[in-house]
Amino acid sequence: MKISNLFFFLIVTLSVSYTQNWRWIAPYPQGNTLFSVCTADNYLYFCGQRKTVVSSTDLGQTFNYLPQYTNQVYWEVGDAANQNIAFVDSINGYLLDLYADEYKTTNGGLTWIKFATGAGNTIINFYDRNKGWKFGNGSYGYTTNGGKTWTTSTPSPLFNKGLVSKTFALDSQVWLLKNYWNDSGGQIFSSTIPGVWNEQITGISSNKNNQLNLSDIKVTPSGYGIAVDYLNYYVSEYQYRYKGVILKTTDFGSNWTNDTTTYDYQSFSAVFTKSDSEWVILGTINTDSYSAPNVISLKSNDFGNSWNSKIISSQYSNYKVSSAVYLKDKNKIIFTCWNDIYASNDFGNSIVKLNKDVPIPTDFVLDKTNKTSSQLGFAIQYFSNRVLVSTNGGLNWDEKILPFQAGWSYQILDIAAADGCLYLLYGYDCYKSSDKGTTWGKIYIPPDYSSYKFSVLDSLHMILLSANGYGKNCIHYTDNGGKNWTNSPVPYQYSFSDIKLFAPGKIIGCGTVYGSIYSGFIYQSSDNGLDWRITSFPQPPVCVNNFSDTSFIAAGNNIAFKSGNKGYLWYTAVPDIDMYLQGNFGMSDNYSAYFKTGYYFTRYVATTDSWVPIYSDPPQWGSASKIDFNYKNNMLVLGDNGLLINTNKNMYEAPGNSAPEMADHYVLFQNYPNPFNPSTKIKFSIPLGESVKNVTIKLYDILGKEVAVILNENKSPGQYEIDFNAVQYKLSSGVYIYQLKRDNNSISRKMVYLK
């Protein structure tokens, strides 16, 4: 038997790459930390975490979230990279990735191409449209033709000290700052001849007990200059304090003097000048080592001899000014703080926030009863009365204010959307809105219980999960919109993480059970909660959903369970991927479940019982606390930093156009471990209702030649696991196909043997 075509199909379907097409919903324009900002021709460009690039062509009135500069997954651009993007004009620019490569664009960031691989440079700057410099720890390059070509120079041995932080250039001189790091640094270097560098003496000794950090420098054509940041100094064992540092020069840095004023608990991030005499410094100040920082400006009109300090905002708790630019002809300062963007139009006297102030969601839902362009969406913050409502499947959102205050005492516990209405659990009450969140009315719920989770199927059918504070839990069910309820007690040791009403009277839930050798459970009822079937699991599922009335899938951390016979029998599903499976997943209309696995996603296709990696890297850190699909089959993902949408529907196409019944087909699991040496385990299952019949599992090489018969026995319905040892069959290292066959049913998978 030849199966080389099958082998080709497996390789293709298991290795799919997709175009990035992510867009932020909230916050806007994005939710990642922005480390660097640059300007050219009055255009603004920002770069930050997770390959984030943002632009503005109108000085911050509007923003454009640009495509990620690479599809590859890297660790991070790094918070030391506060000058890693530079444009020579409005469309030609460069971006350095701290842990990877260097990229350039010729169309304003719409596309990026790699122009250097693994160079290790972290900061880049241009003096004009021709002269530019790029630096890293152990590397240095310069250009005289706008970056078309770069000359790489052997760096001075002095560069081995510290961590590069910022560069600044005039026509004939360039400066480089290095922060204290790894027992050295806190220095200023300067060059007037390409490749020749000299250290400029700051007058401050930098060592492990006196750690000098320098974040910005500006020098006027007359030679007046200011360099700023902070000094981290030793107080006692395990205790350091910090204070702001201002260095001044009048001769291009040949001599620097240290401002002797004490700037305790202050750090300075950016400095700008209008003339030799007019200067402004932006930074943050804490009243003590424990308080949240305030943004401050220090201004001087006497060549930096004296400074007037002013707190210009106190709303940026726990985050410092990251990067800033000054548009001199507009007298406008633009700076970033965490994921926000601000402007000062009066040279540091006051600031305004430029990006839209919207609530960052902690939960969202879509109305699955509406599959049209008017589909409702609902997003909330648990401890806020500011909510977001969408009337087009999550493509656009409007802010609404709830008529009651949400906070730590009374918080939003759960939300739902169905039949054009919005629902929420708040405090001890359940509310419903029939006008897209403008007004809200109470729904009667059973007294003496505090509801904390619910599921709404439509305007009539709803379940509530409640507790009364005396160790008694209860599931309440209504089929008339809350006029009447049936109550079903739940054992106190069962703690639900998820519960779904997937058809009238049909309920499924999952969670953790305490005081048992089994830590997880599935809770099912098909008669309005009057009778229940409980299935125990060795690991607790955190999310459960259904493909149909009889086919279900549940998942926990790095484990998934599936059932095709109404939940009477569950199988353990392990994905054929070497990544961590997160328990929360989303369901699309093509009978597929989508999981966040590490950086990427993985699709479980129920009709073929297969796992397919989806190589699309969402532009934010952390887990996906929720995944869902709108009426257009666009994926919405809620993560640590906010809510995103991906409109590339090609990413979510999967075979199958009818609901699968898992009990009616065979399952061949991926062998584990894989690759292996020399032994591995092969697991398979035979559906219920089958008679005892012969089952074979045969092994083929990549040319389709049979090399081993692993199993040839009569088997009854159930799940089986067999051991396979390659030494027994004298196999060579390589890729093999193992195939399960029973009557006319056959399934094949790939295994890799590495000696």
- Angle at CA 187, nearest 5°, toward 186 and 190? 160
| Preceding peptide of 717 cis, ω within 30° | no
Q: Which long-range contacts (CB under 8 A, 24 or more apart) does 116-123 make?
A: 116/150, 121/96, 122/78, 122/80, 122/81, 122/84, 122/96, 122/98, 122/164, 123/81, 123/82, 123/83, 123/84, 123/96, 123/164, 123/165, 123/166, 123/167
Check whether 70 has a pLDDT greater than 90: no
Query: What pLDDT is stored for residue 364 in this prediction?
Result: 96
Check whether 315 has a pLDDT greater than 70: no
Section 667-681 average pLDDT: 84
Query: What pLDDT is stored for residue 184 in this prediction?
Result: 78
Section 180-184 average pLDDT: 78
Percent of the chain, pLDDT > 90? Answer: 43
The tokens for 662 are 């898992």
Q: What is the DSSP string of 543-594?
A: EEEESSSS-EEEEETTEEEEESSTTSS-EEE--SSSSPEEEEEEE-TTSEEE
CA distance 120 to 290: 35
pLDDT digit string, tens, across residues 206-257? 888 889 999 999 999 999 999 999 999 888 877 888 899 999 999 999 999 9
83-114 burial, b if ≥16 CB within 10 A, otherwise e? bbbbbbeeebbbbbbbebbbbbbeebbeebee
DSSP secondary structure letter of residue 703: T
CA distance 296 to 337: 13
Q: What is the DSSP string of 365-431?
A: EE-TT--STT--EEEE-TT-SEEEEESSTTSS-EEEE-SS--SSSS-EEEEEEETTEEEEEETTEEE
Residue 645 CA to its chain's centroid (Å): 12
Check whether 698 has a pLDDT greater than 70: yes
**Dihedral, CA atoms, 271, 272, 273, 276, nearest 10 degrees?**
20
Give the residue with greater pLDDT, 77 vs 717: 717
653: Cβ contacts below 8 Å, ≥ 6 apart: 590
Bridge partner list, 749 = 738
Query: What pLDDT is stored for residue 467 in this prediction?
Result: 78
260: Cβ contacts below 8 Å, ≥ 6 apart: none
* Predicted confidence band of residue 260 (pLDDT cuts 50, 70, 90): confident
Bridge partner list, 531 = none
The tokens for 660 are 């699968």
pLDDT digit string, tens, across residues 352-374? 999 888 888 999 999 999 989 99
CA distance 287 to 285: 7
Percent of the chain, pLDDT > 70? Answer: 85
Coil, strand or helix at 640:
coil
Section 111-135 average pLDDT: 86
pLDDT-wise least confident of 51-65, 389-403, 590-604: 590-604
SS3 of 38-88: EEECCEEEEEEHHHEEEEECCCCCCCEEECCCCCCCCCCCCCCCCCCEEEC
Give the residue with greater pLDDT, 481 vs 470: 481
Query: What pLDDT is stored for residue 575 in this prediction?
Result: 54
Query: What pLDDT is stored for residue 321 in this prediction?
Result: 87
pLDDT digit string, tens, across residues 624-655? 889 999 998 899 999 888 999 988 766 655 44
Check whether 77 has a pLDDT greater than 70: no
Coil, strand or helix at 329:
helix
Query: What pLDDT is stored for residue 493 in this prediction?
Result: 82
* Predicted confidence band of residue 19 (pLDDT cuts 50, 70, 90): very low
454-489 burial, b if ≥16 CB within 10 A, otherwise e? bbbbbbebbbbbbeeeeeebbbbbbbeebeebbebe
Average pLDDT score over the chain: 84
**Dihedral sign (CA 668, 671, 674, 678):** negative
Strands ordered across the beta sheet of 43-48: 34-40, 43-48, 52-56, 64-66
- Angle at CA 305, nearest 5°, toward 300 and 307? 40
Query: What pLDDT is stored for residue 510 in this prediction?
Result: 92
The tokens for 559 are 């484990």
Decide if 546 contacts 508 (C-beta within 8 A). yes
Give the largest CA-CA distance in the chain: 95
Helix (H) or strand (E) holding 740: strand 734-742
**Domains of the chain, CATH where assigned:** 361-443 (2.40.10), 666-753 (2.60.40.1930)
* Predicted confidence band of residue 11 (pLDDT cuts 50, 70, 90): very low
- Please report, as a single letter, which amino acid is at residue 333: I
pLDDT digit string, tens, across residues 541-583? 999 998 888 889 998 877 888 888 888 888 877 654 445 677 7
pLDDT digit string, tens, across residues 139-148? 788 999 999 9
Single pTM value for the model: 0.79
Query: What pLDDT is stored for residue 61 in this prediction?
Result: 93
Decide if 493 contacts 514 (C-beta within 8 A). yes
Query: What pLDDT is stored for residue 17 in this prediction?
Result: 35
* Predicted confidence band of residue 450 (pLDDT cuts 50, 70, 90): confident
Side-chain half-sphere exposure of 101, counting CA atoms within 13 A:
13
First to last CA, the chain: 27
DSSP secondary structure letter of residue 264: B
